[in-house]
Amino acid sequence: MAFVNIMIHAVWGTKNRVHFLTDDLRPIIINHIKLNAKAKNIYIDRINGYKDHIHCLFSLNADMSIAQAMLLMKGESAFWINKNKLFDAKFE
């Protein structure tokens, strides 16, 4: 059987490019994304960002679509940020 490794470079930003991802909060959020991805069997090769966006290079497991992986990383992290009230305003 052949070995296939597909890497995805995803970039997602905050709504209206608001600078929510400050230098003190960005590492906390990135760490949460890493831990959540690992629990969902998504391998993150690199992840970093700036005040208004995140870059992530990851590979999918065999039975996962790109859309599903993004929902598990991007959607879940936004939910986690709002649940833990990391910002005064709603994070989108």
Cβ pair 20, 28 in contact under 8 A:
no
What does the pLDDT average to over 60-66? 83
Instruction: List the one residue out of 37, 38, 45 whose CA is nearest residue 72.
Output: 37
Return all residues near 77 (Cβ < 8 A) that are at least 6 apart: 29, 32, 33, 36
8-59 residue pLDDT tens: 999 998 888 888 888 999 999 999 999 999 999 899 999 999 999 999 999 9
Domains of the chain: residue spans and CATH: 7-83 (3.30.70.1290)
Helices vs. strands in the chain: H and E counts, helices first: 3, 3
Beta bridge partners of 78: none
DSSP symbol at 90: P
pTM here is 0.86
Tokens of 59: 């590979």
Predicted pLDDT of residue 54: 94
